Structures are given as structure tokens and as C-alpha cells.
């Protein structure tokens, strides 16, 4: 006979249904159990593993609570809470996705959705990941425009919005790389690695966001300035090699396309002089920002007001447009050719 729990654990207020027919027991950080009283049919409806657990012959509990079987789960109570939020809200994305935070913060929920085979939840998270780390250049530009809006909001607010720094509200690329590889979603890699090339190696996510270091004056200053950090220590040796190779590839693209363009003669010497000035400025910006895509975009916009004749202006604008397309295509081919990293 199963034994009744003698120590009354902490219980959920939200997910403690009087007509629930099973108790889920999950660990808390202090090791004490936290319990939910829920419905077998809700969990079974969305998850085959749960359905298997709830079969009469499978659910033979060692312990009970209020006469109900207690099913221990290994996941932390906070994670199971979010899972229940999703399942009891018809897998509504709003149940788990705080619009102020990136979906990569919910990588644990993706793991649970895969482990318990909850297809709709998994697909919802993957869809959001594809939006945050797009495979198309147009998607990347839309993402960057959105980040620009957020950056201006934080600058106007003195660094914090909703008690969060900009770095709190944006996806972190190393975690995305690990997630992409773990679920075979390689199309996230081009954008994630490109974003990583732009991050300052001195801005380590763990150093800035741990409880002990987050409030240090120097770290607060960096976060208030909108620094973008990364989990550098979590990069594997393979990732470091890929990152180094990508940086070299981007440098070669700038050198091959912009330096060669600078040597080409134009119909008007005055236009040629202005073109060279724009190319030099774009190259300098690409080096300083580590972002040749952005540098080309800014240079293209500047070209339209540089005082060149219309044919020469169109030629220079085309140069930057072509560079951006070529740069992005090179990224995609590098990571997706034959379904693996070159």
C-alpha cells in the first residue's frame, strides 16, 4: 500500500484543482517538494509520455496525498508551472512568452516540450526562434530595426525599461547556437554566429548577470550603455574555430568588394572622390562596429545625399546592396551547405 505523505509540501495556489485526480511533485531549489493537483486528461491530451504514466498499471505510486497518487517529476517546480500554464491555456504562446523577453530564455520549456512530446508547444517555440534568428536578410533587417527601437527606448529611460536592461530583453547567441544544434535547427546558426561576431569578447554574460556581479557599479554602467554580452565561456572549441573563420570571411568580403570597387574608375572625377570617401567611411564603420551589414546599410543611405550625379549614385548604391546580399548568402551557405557546418 502506498504511504500517505507525512510532511505537507508547499502547494500551488493556481494549479490546485478540487477535482484534480493526480498530484505532481517537483523539486524546489531548497530540495523541498512542491506539488500541483491537476487533471490526468489535460496532460494526457497533449503528451503521450504523460498518457503512458497515467495508465492504471503504470501509475502505481509509492506515496499519496489526500488519497491521490503522487507522481514525482525531475524538472524544477518553476518549469512545471510554466508548462502547466501552457497546457491549461490551450498552448497559447502568451502563456509562456513574455513579449519583453527573448524566447531563448525559455530553452528549458523547449526541452520539456520535446521530452514530453508536446508538439504544438514545441512548434510554437521554434516558430518564435525562427523570428528572432531569421534565415532571410529581410528578416534580419526587420529584427535589427526592432532592436533599434528598443535601444532608443532604453537610452531615453536612462538604461532600464520595465526594470530590465537592454541585454535582458534580447536573445543571447551562444545559447541559441546550443539550442539550434540540440534540436537540429541549423537555420538559426547563420544569424546567431553573425550576431556573435559583433559582441565584445570582454562582455561576458555570466560576469554581468549573476546575482553577485550584476549590481557592481562598473557592470551597471556597461549595461546602462546598452552593452550586448554573450556566454563566451560556453563556446566549444569547434564554435571558436567557426567564429574565427567567419570573422576572416567577413573581412575578406569587405576587402574584395569595397577595396576593388574603390579602384574602379567612374565617369566623373568628383563622383569618384566622393565614392572613395564613402567606401573609406563604410570600411571604418565596419571595423569599429564589427558589423559590415549595418555599415553597408548606413553607407547606402548616406550615398543618396553625397552630391554625386544620379548615374554614379545609383552605381554606388548598387555596390552596397550587392555587398549585403552577397554577405548574407555567404553566411547561409557557410552554415547550411549539405546540412552541416563547413
Exposed e or buried b per residue across 171-183, where buried means at least 16 C-beta atoms within 10 angstroms of its C-beta: bbbbbbbbbbbeb
Provide the pLDDT for residue 306.
Answer: 81
Provide the pLDDT for residue 210.
Answer: 82
Provide the pLDDT for residue 120.
Answer: 83
Tell me the pLDDT band of 290, cut-offs 50, 70 and 90: very high
Put the strands of the sheet holding 68-72 in their side by side order: 3-4, 63-65, 68-72, 22-27, 33-38, 10-16
Residue 300: pLDDT over 70 = yes
Residue 135: pLDDT over 80 = yes
Tell me the pLDDT band of 336, cut-offs 50, 70 and 90: confident
The total number of residues written for the chain in this structure: 342
What is the per-residue pLDDT across 161-203, written as a single tens digit (0 to 9) for each? Answer: 988 899 988 889 999 999 898 888 899 999 999 999 999 999 9
Residue 27: pLDDT over 80 = yes
Rounded Cα distance, 169 and 102, in Å: 6
Average pLDDT over residues 86-94: 65
Residue 342: pLDDT over 50 = no
Provide the pLDDT for residue 82.
Answer: 82
Among 206, 220, 230, which Cα is nearest to 158's?
A: 220
More confident residue, 99 or 264: 264
CA distances from 89 to 43, 120, 323 (A): 12, 12, 46
Provide the pLDDT for residue 187.
Answer: 92
Provide the pLDDT for residue 99.
Answer: 52
Provide the mean pLDDT of the chain: 86
Rounded Cα distance, 38 and 310, in Å: 69
Q: What count of other Cβ atoms lies within 10 Å of the Cβ of residue 151? A: 14
Residue 338: pLDDT over 50 = no
Rounded Cα distance, 77 and 93, in Å: 20
Q: Are 3 and 64 in contact (CB under 8 A)?
A: yes
Amino acid at each position: 500500500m502506498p504511504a500517505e505523505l507525512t510532511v505537507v509540501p508547499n502547494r500551488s495556489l493556481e494549479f490546485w484543482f478540487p477535482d484534480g485526480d493526480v498530484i505532481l511533485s517537483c523539486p524546489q531549489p531548497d530540495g523541498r517538494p512542491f506539488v500541483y493537483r491537476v487533471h490526468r486528461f489535460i496532460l494526457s491530451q497533449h503528451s503521450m509520455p504523460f498518457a503512458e504514466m497515467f495508465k492504471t498499471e503504470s501509475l502505481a505510486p509509492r506515496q499519496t496525498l489526500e488519497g491521490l497518487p503522487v507522481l514525482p517529476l525531475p524538472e524544477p517546480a518553476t518549469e512545471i508551472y510554466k508548462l502547466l500554464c501552457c497546457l491549461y491555456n490551450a498552448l497559447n504562446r502568451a502563456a509562456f512568452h513574455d513579449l519583453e523577453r527573448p524566447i531563448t530564455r525559455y530553452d528549458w520549456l523547449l526541452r520539456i516540450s520535446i521530452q514530453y512530446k508536446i508538439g504544438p508547444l514545441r512548434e510554437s517555440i521554434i516558430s518564435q526562434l525562427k523570428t528572432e534568428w531569421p534565415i532571410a536578410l529581410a528578416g534580419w533587417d526587420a529584427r535589427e530595426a526592432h532592436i533599434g527601437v528598443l535601444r532608443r527606448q532604453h537610452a531615453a529611460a536612462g538604461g532600464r525599461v520595465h526594470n530590465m536592461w537592454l541585454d535582458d530583453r534580447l536573445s543571447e547567441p551562444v545559447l541559441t547556437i546550443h539550442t539550434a544544434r540540440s534540436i537540429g535547427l541549423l537555420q538559426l546558426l547563420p544569424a546567431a554566429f553573425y550576431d556573435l561576431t559583433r559582441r565584445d569578447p570582454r562582455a561576458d554574460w555570466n560576469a554581468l548577470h549573476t546575482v553577485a556581479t550584476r549590481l557592481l557599479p562598473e557592470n551597471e554602467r556597461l549595461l546602462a550603455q546598452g552593452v550586448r554580452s554573450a556566454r563566451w565561456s560556453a563556446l566549444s572549441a569547434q564554435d571558436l574555430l567557426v567564429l574565427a573563420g567567419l570573422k576572416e570571411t567577413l573581412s575578406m568580403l569587405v576587402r574584395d568588394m569595397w577595396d576593388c570597387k574603390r579602384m574602379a574608375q567612374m565617369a566623373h572625377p568628383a563622383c569618384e572622390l566622393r565614392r572613395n570617401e564613402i567606401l573609406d567611411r563604410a570600411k571604418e564603420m565596419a571595423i569599429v562596429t564589427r558589423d559590415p551589414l549595418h555599415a553597408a546599410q548606413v553607407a547606402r543611405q548616406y550615398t543618396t545625399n553625397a552630391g554625386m550625379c544620379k548615374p554614379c549614385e545609383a552605381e554606388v548604391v548598387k555596390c552596397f546592396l550587392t555587398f549585403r546580399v552577397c554577405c548574407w548568402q555567404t553566411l547561409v551557405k557557410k552554415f547550411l551547405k549539405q546540412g552541416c557546418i563547413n
